[in-house]
Amino acid sequence: MVNERILNMVWMQALWFAAVIGAAAGYNWPAGLVLLAFIVWQTRPVRHAKGDVQLVLVAVVMGFLFDTLWVKLDWLVFQAAATPRLAPFWIVMLWAGLALTINHSLAWLQSNWGLGALMSGVACPLSYLGAEKLGAVQIIPDSNLWWLIMGATWAAVVPFLLWLSSKLKSAL
């Protein structure tokens, strides 16, 4: 049987492509559909980890706030945004998917927040660049400052989610 952590990672990648390609085509529903399937699969009692649902809720709020901030700073323009000055549904669904990886395919980072910070500080801005190349978002500033701020933000967000995950597991 395929390792559960690998399947969790595959679900996240499927969500990323559904969200980004859907948004590039002007649709939000592919992200919602794949996220719903991911949630159903991940929250079954045999796979569910303590704190998954709470972590998703926190990540959705954080994602909405951070990506709305990037929009309001005129750093990002998202496709398929129902309200142009707010983070769109599809990007917030990606944050929910990220939260579903914290206790599963990314669980190995829970004992190494520094590596989590380094990896997310590099990989997450590259994810936005990939989404731009596929037509789902436009990155406005053409400067190293954007990359530094985005990288620093993600280098803080992922370790925070790793920390919160451990707190939720011990509290619930």
Question: What is the structure's pLDDT at 44?
Answer: 82
Portion of the chain with pLDDT greater than 70, in percent: 98
Question: What is the structure's pLDDT at 45?
Answer: 74
CA count, 13 A, side-chain hemisphere, 6: 3
Q: How confident is the model at residue 115 (pLDDT cuts 50, 70, 90)?
A: very high
**Amino acid letter, residue 109:** L
Kindly list the distances between the CA atom of residue 40 and the CA atoms of 10, 128, 165, in Å, as whole numbers in the listed order: 15, 26, 20
Q: How confident is the model at residue 91 (pLDDT cuts 50, 70, 90)?
A: very high
Is residue 31 within 8 A of residue 22, CB to CB? The reply is yes
Residue with tokens 């790793």: 162
Question: What is the structure's pLDDT at 130?
Answer: 97
Q: How large is the average pLDDT for residues 18-45? A: 94
Q: How large is the average pLDDT for residues 29-42? A: 96
Could you count the other beta carbons within 10 Å of the beta carbon of residue 83? 10
- The DSSP-derived string for the chain is ---HHHHHHHHHHHHHHHHHHHHHTT-SHHHHHHHHHHHHHHTSTTT--TTHHHHHHHHHHHHHHHHHHHHHTTSEEETT-SSTTS--HHHHHHHHHHHHHHTTTTGGGGG-HHHHHHHHHHHHHHHHHHHHHTTSEEE---SHHHHHHHHHHHHHHHHHHHHHHHHHHHH-
Q: Is the pLDDT of residue 10 over 60?
A: yes
Question: What is the structure's pLDDT at 2?
Answer: 67
Question: What is the structure's pLDDT at 146?
Answer: 87
Q: Where are the domains of the chain?
A: 4-171
Q: Is the pLDDT of residue 17 over 70?
A: yes
Question: What is the structure's pLDDT at 131?
Answer: 98
Portion of the chain with pLDDT greater than 90, in percent: 85
Question: What is the structure's pLDDT at 145?
Answer: 87
Measured distance CA(171)–CA(137) in Å, rounded = 38
Question: Which of 89, 100, 97 has its CA nearest to residue 44?
Answer: 100
pLDDT in tens, 128-171: 999 999 999 999 987 788 889 999 999 999 999 999 999 998 87
